[in-house]
Each structure stands twice: as structure tokens, then as C-alpha cells.
Amino acid sequence: MANILTQIVGEKEILIFDPLMVNELDIPPGASSSRLPNVFATSLREKGYSAILKPGDAVYIPPLWPHATRPLTPNVGINIFWKSFKDEAYDRGKDVYGNKDLSAYSEGRKLVDRIVRGFNDLDRDTREFYLKRLAAELEGHISN
């Protein structure tokens, strides 16, 4: 969801990434956090937008833009989230961090799992051949 982060007390660094970096940031399917232990200590840091937030600063974080913060001093910040789509578009369940996926994505993940299971009994080369073809078909729909 879209988010405005307002820094109230202390300082923190924020690092924001283009949504197309989701795979480079090692965010697993269905998850909202990177598996990287410290993105601030990686070469990916250079690909993000960085700022130091001080009391009174606010930053708009667009929906789908992965981000990380790290405290520089003891600090307090307030996030305000809002939805970009109708309630029905979002997956069910609680989400205190404003990272709810769209229902279409959650349903798509179930379909992908079903597709992959259909190839389980085949050899690796055959699985790879057909799954790569299907992946290319999905990518072809991005430009449509």
C-alpha cells in the first residue's frame, strides 16, 4: 500500500528501491521482507534511493516500492498507509505493515504451485523446458 513515513524523534536512514528490483532484493514469493540480512551493507544499496530522516521529515513511499530503514539514533516514526484499490482486490487477513498482496497474486501463486506439481514426475530437462516456456508466456502478458 502507499505509505507516508513521518519521522518524529531521532534519526533513521531509509533506502527505497524501484519495484522492478523485487527479485534482486531476494523477497520470496508471498513474502513482504527480503531475506538479505542487511541490505544497507550490500552493493544493492547503490541502486536504491537513500535519505536520512530527521524529526519533522516525511517521505512518500509509493505502493510496491520495497524499502528498508535503519535507526541512526533512538527514534520514533509514524507510518500512515492507504489502499490504492478497492477492498475486494486485496487478499484477506490482517496486515499491520500495509503489505497486503492483491488477491489475484495470491490466487496466481496457488495456480503456479499446481502447475509445478504437474511436472514433478518428469526429468529436470523436460520440467525446465516447459516451465521456461510458460514463464515466457506470462512475461508476454506484461506488455498487454
Can you give the chain as a three-state secondary structure string? CEEEEEEEECCEEEEECCHHHCCCCCCCCCCCCCCCCCHHHCHHHHHCEEEEECCCCEEEECCCCCEEEEECCCCEEEEEEECCCCHHHECCCCCCCCCCCEHHHHHHHHHHHHHHHHCCCCCHHHHHHHHHHHHHHHHHCCCC
Can you give the pLDDT at residue 83? 80
Can you give the pLDDT at residue 53? 98
pTM of the model: 0.74
Q: Dihedral of CA 36/95/47/9: which sign?
A: negative
Is the pLDDT at 37 greater than 70? The verdict is yes
Q: Which domains does the chain have, with CATH numbers?
A: 2-90 (2.60.120.650), 104-140 (no CATH)
Q: Model confidence over 95-113: pLDDT tens digits? A: 666 677 888 888 898 999 9
The number of beta carbons lying within 10 Å of the beta carbon of residue 112 is: 15
